[in-house]
Structure formats: C-alpha cells, structure tokens
Structure 1
C-alpha cells in the first residue's frame, strides 16, 4: 500500500504524510506495527497538533503519528471527559497522599534534574522498553524539538526545614484548543508509594478544569496490553472509532 493509499484510508488527503516500515510492536508480542506520520513546523504547528490529536494522532518531538497497522486496530485513542469527572474515594486518597506537592509550569527546556529523575525512572520501571537507552541529548530533543504549544509541568515538594524544593515528577504536556495532551510523564521511583503516575493524571484533569478545557488526552489504550490497561481507570473516557468519539464502557472505575 502506497503513502497516498494510507492517507486516503485515514481520511488525510491533502497533507504530507508518510509511512514507516514494519517494526516489532512494543505493546503486543508477536505483532508488527506501522505508523503514518507528518511533521509539525511553522506557525500552524499548534493548530495542526490540536486538529490531528482530535483525529487520534499522537505527538513525538516534531512528528505527529497514528498507528496504521493493516491487520490490527488494538491501539485506541482515549480522552478523559473533564466536566463529568468525579473524585471517588480512591482518587481522594491519591490526592491526599500528595497534598504537599507543588505544581509548577516551565518552558519546554530540559534540565539535568529532570533527566536524572527520568534515568532513575527508566532504569527502575522500564529497563527493557524503547526508551531504555535514552541519553541526555535524546531527552533534550524530546522536550525541546517542537514548534507546538507545550510545557513541562514539574511536581515538587518543599523540605520543611531548609525550604528547598525537590523534583519528584514531571509531565511533558501539550496545550490544545480543546484540552491537554499528556505526551510523556515520569516520576522519582523512590516516591512510588505516592501513586505519582495516577496523581499526575488527576492533576491534569484539575488543571484542564482551571483552564476551561473539556478533555485530557491520554494517548492510546491498547486492547490486550497490560501496561496500557491503567488508562481504563480514568472514567469517564471517550474512545475514537470509525464513527468518531464515543463513551467507553465504565467497566473499571476507581
């Protein structure tokens, strides 16, 4: 199938889209993946990012991509419906554990403190993943090589005695016209008891509410992948299918 055929299949005629070669799927063992992608640049980058995210794409640096596997449709775009999101008991417990956490927005510029925490996170939790060999230059590229409206959201705690602040989590987040898109998040593994991965999602919902934005985009839920199943916890969720966005069944709610 040619690039043009793939573009027509996904309703993307008129833009410059390309297709990757088949590669091992990082989520489902024994399967192969392909992606359709385009470049984000210039004054229209943020608007294009917003438009294509609503159509199921995901950003990585100055690329925006969509799974385009001919024999598989396991990757499903999901987004949290902010206005209908309620704080259940377990969500309240997570928020209470992190009552001392400070949210701070930073320009998309990599720091040594962020990278040191990222390396600890990868070595502890994702040593066999696709980012396991990430260098400081790779991290700087991930954060800084983009023309879209993006920000690093840092989560810090302040020492009671010295009053110095310590970084414990961070999220690279795009600001879209209709929501926030969590591009990548990571945290200090020694603080795992706080449930920081879950907390950052809850805080993004809160932040979207503050900004008056209706959605938090979580990327892809992959049917059959244990490592992606946590996203189902953040109901109400919408999934993107052939007929547009629709509500995911609330089989898991916590």
Structure 2
C-alpha cells in the first residue's frame, strides 16, 4: 500500500498479519507500519505522529484492527493545558526531585530500574523477561531523536541522587512524544507517571513545541484511562485532530 505525500516519493505502508493484542488477551490485532527500510523515517516521523502513528524501537505503527477501534491517538495542546487540583498536588509532592534530560543511552542503573518496574507492573505480561538487548530495541531507536528524562531523589554524600523514574521521550519539530515511562514501584505513591507528563508538558512549553503526544487512549482499559485526566486533550479521528470526547472516542 502506498500513500502520496509532498515528499519526493510515495510512502509505503504495510499491514501486519493478525497478532495477539498487547492490551486485551482475548483479542487479536493488526497494525499499519511505515516501511521500516525507508531512509526518510527520521524526517517522516513528525508527520506520522500527526496521523496518529507511534514509535516502538525503529517501527512506526498505528493500530488497524477491522472489528475494534478502541485505540485512539491523543495529544495535549501544550499552550492550552491547565493542571487540575490533583495534578498540582502531584507537582508539589515531587518538588524535591531533580529532573534532568539526558542522552538515550542504556546503563546498568537504567536497566535495573526498568526490570524492577516490569516485574512489578507487568508480571507474566510478556515483557518482564526483557534483557538489556530488548530494553534498547524497544526504547531506543536508531534514527529517532530520543532523550531520557530522569527523575532522581535529592543527592546524598555529594553524588547523584537515586534514580526513581525515567520518561523516554522523542523530540520532534511538531512536539514531544511520550514513548514510555517506568519508575521504582517503591515510590508509586508519588504519582510519577502523572509527574512525568507534567514535566514533559513544561519541557515542550520551554522549547516552544505545540504538542505532547501521549500515544493511545484505549476505551475501557483501566491502565490507559489516566490520559483523559489531562485537559484539554485532542484525539485523532482518522482524518483530523478534534477535542477529545470519552463518550464518542474509540467506538
């Protein structure tokens, strides 16, 4: 399948075969995938985000299931965002943390935190056996402009503070894309997932970027429902971005 763009050549899209759905164990799924061998992927990626696609490793994909439309691409318009009371409390609760942007490079410290998170949050979910190779393959793309947003406790004894959270973030001209966030389960009460999004919004605001892409909100999926707590939120309906309506999205 090819689609026309204003680039020199058409873009090639592939539809995958059916595979187990990563969100609903009783369902199968299919995806549309941009040609992974296209050397222009890095330049095409911002446009693909605007079409509701997402990155996993070097793959740029979008769910394309015949009978299910539960996955809805959502993004935050940074300039219009207004934190609610709960989100403001989360920011205050984590005001002691050091937040810094680093290169997307694997380390023993990062992998140990990632593995603890998977073992606690996704036990027996197919990811908890990820090793260092899978870590890099899943989170760090060969062509993407990816950064790690680290969240650390206050430093002690002159050294860096303990790493308790990481938000893997792609930087593009059209906005930031929140690829994946993992954190220390012992600090779950801090609400580090919410705090990471608030920090990514602030980061995009500083850089003058218009959007923070949050991937997919999934109707009736408890783990993905947190995304609709960020206001305003925009959803991609397959043709354009519109204001998110939880009563209509994903039907």
State if a TM-score over 0.5 links the two structures.
yes
1:26 to 22, 28, 47: 22
Q: Could you say what the CA RMSD is over the residues aligned between the two structures, in angstroms?
A: 2.0
Cα deviation for residue 190 of structure 1 reads 0.7
Asked whether the 8 Å contact 2:147–2:170 carries over to 1, the reply is: yes
Asked whether the 8 Å contact 1:26–1:130 carries over to 2, the reply is: no
* Separation (CA, whole Å) in 1 of partners of 2:11 and 2:39: 16
* Separation (CA, whole Å) in 2 of partners of 1:35 and 1:75: 11
Cα deviation for residue 88 of structure 1 reads 2.1
Aligned to 1:109: 105
1:169-215 Cα distance to aligned partner (Å, 9 max, x none):
00111112121001111001111111101100111111111111111
Q: Residues 30, 64 of structure 1: CA spacing in aligned structure 2 closer, same or farther, 3 A cutoff?
A: same
Q: Residues 241, 234 of structure 1: CA spacing in aligned structure 2 closer, same or farther, 3 A cutoff?
A: same
Whether 1:136 and 2:132 are equivalent positions in the alignment is yes
Asked whether the 8 Å contact 1:109–1:143 carries over to 2, the reply is: no
- If the length of structure 2 is used for normalisation, what is the TM-score? 0.89
1:17 to 13, 16, 29: 13
Aligned to 2:79: 83
2:234 to 229, 234, 238: 238
Aligned to 2:6: none
Whether 1:170 and 2:166 are equivalent positions in the alignment is yes
**Structure 2 unpaired stretches of 5+:** 4-8
Asked whether the 8 Å contact 2:102–2:149 carries over to 1, the reply is: yes
* Separation (CA, whole Å) in 2 of partners of 1:29 and 1:145: 27
**Structure 1 unpaired stretches of 5+:** none
Aligned residue pairs total 242
* Separation (CA, whole Å) in 1 of partners of 2:229 and 2:44: 29
- If the length of structure 1 is used for normalisation, what is the TM-score? 0.88
Whether 1:35 and 2:53 are equivalent positions in the alignment is no
